């Protein structure tokens, strides 16, 4: 396992992060999905070196080795990323968020405008109040996770707690559960034994400290994110698989329509886990010099 580093936030919480790739490369924060951890699937070191990428991943609060931040909002991610960047001596960097990490990447871009030069969101959720058929084409387990009425959140929390406990005791159980619902292109991706191992390791690390990262991620995504999308003024790549039934592509189209400088790709023949396969291309784009936008 790659060595990790722990850093303390201003309020005393521990954040755990690690680096891979070229130490003198373009710094990119890769924000994991829900549930997930800093160990989530990423390009091999050789690919990162070739692309000139210094990849930084970290456990969002409550996942892996990072302490819980109870009641956190999506917007709170920006201060945590800034803490890690300060620890690394980074003035400027780029961000990419995958799935549940997508909103958090946008928070960094909106709230750290002098530091984040480019951003990308892959298979991301839209805000819960987006004017779309939010659940149209979404697999049943995610409809339950994100569609539970606000007045019944205690039931949702208990359901997530039970799922997290099953995953902690037997990480492959989450992958088995997903296989029963995900679209055909995703089933093809997770047939790969290396991908299976990466996902199981990610889920095991995510639940190592308990269920709270998963619980808090879901609750944060269901509530106001805490920043305006109109404040994301950097170039943004928005990518989505056309067959995605974890997060339907209507979410990406809505996001791209509200980001001032977004480039949208909805790719046919792929789905949610296609975000892992497109990541090297996205990293190459993030490594390009930032354009001056007006």
| Neighbour order of strands in the sheet with 5-8 | 5-8, 14-21, 53-58, 26-31, 93-98, 116-122, 236-241, 262-267
Quick: pLDDT tens for 182-238: 999 999 999 999 999 999 999 999 999 899 999 999 999 999 999 999 999 999 999
Q: Which of 63, 1, 71 is nearest to 31 (CA)?
A: 63
What are 152's two structure tokens? 């019944």
Q: In which band, very low, low, confident or very high, does the pLDDT at 290 lie, cut at 50, 70 and 90?
A: low
Measured over the CA atoms of residue 17, residue 22, residue 23 and residue 26, the dihedral's sign is negative
Give, in words, the CATH class of 5-286.
Answer: alpha beta
Quick: pLDDT tens for 96-151: 999 999 999 999 999 999 999 999 999 999 999 999 999 999 999 999 999 999 88
What is the spatial distance between Cα 226 and Cα 223, in angstroms, rounded to a whole number?
9
For the entire predicted model, the pTM comes to 0.96
Cβ atoms of 195 and 182 within 8 Å: the answer is no
Cβ atoms of 174 and 163 within 8 Å: the answer is yes
Domain ranges in the chain? 5-286
């Amino acid at each position: 396992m790659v060595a990790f580093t722990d850093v303390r936030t201003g309020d005393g919480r521990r954040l755990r992060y690690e680096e891979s790739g070229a130490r003198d490369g373009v710094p990119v924060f890769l924000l994991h999905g829900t549930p997930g951890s800093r160990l989530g699937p990423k390009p091999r070191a050789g690919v990162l070196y070739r692309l000139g990428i210094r990849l930084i991943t970290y456990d969002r609060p409550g996942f892996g080795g990072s302490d819980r931040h109870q009641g956190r909002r999506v917007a709170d991610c920006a201060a945590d990323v800034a803490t890690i960047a300060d620890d690394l001596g980074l003035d400027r960097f780029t961000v990419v968020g995958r799935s549940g990490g997508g909103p958090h990447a946008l928070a960094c871009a909106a709230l750290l405008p002098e530091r984040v030069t480019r951003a990308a969101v892959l298979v991301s959720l839209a805000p819960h109040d987006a004017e779309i058929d939010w659940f149209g084409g979404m697999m049943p387990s995610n409809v339950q996770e994100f569609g539970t009425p606000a007045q019944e959140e205690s039931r949702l929390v208990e359901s997530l707690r039970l799922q997290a406990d099953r995953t902690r005791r037997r990480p492959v159980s989450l992958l088995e559960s997903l296989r029963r619902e995900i679209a055909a292109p995703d089933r093809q991706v997770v047939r790969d034994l290396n991908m299976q191992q990466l996902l199981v390791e990610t889920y095991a690390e995510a639940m190592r400290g308990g269920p709270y990262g998963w619980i808090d991620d879901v609750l944060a995504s269901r509530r106001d994110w805490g920043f305006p999308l109109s404040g994301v003024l950097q170039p943004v790549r928005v990518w989505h698989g056309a067959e995605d039934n974890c997060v339907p592509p209507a979410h990406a189209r809505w996001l791209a329509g509200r980001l001032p400088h977004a480039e949208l790709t909805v790719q046919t023949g792929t789905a949610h886990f296609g975000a892992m396969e497109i990541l090297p291309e996205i990293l190459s784009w993030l490594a390009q010099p930032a354009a001056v936008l007006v």
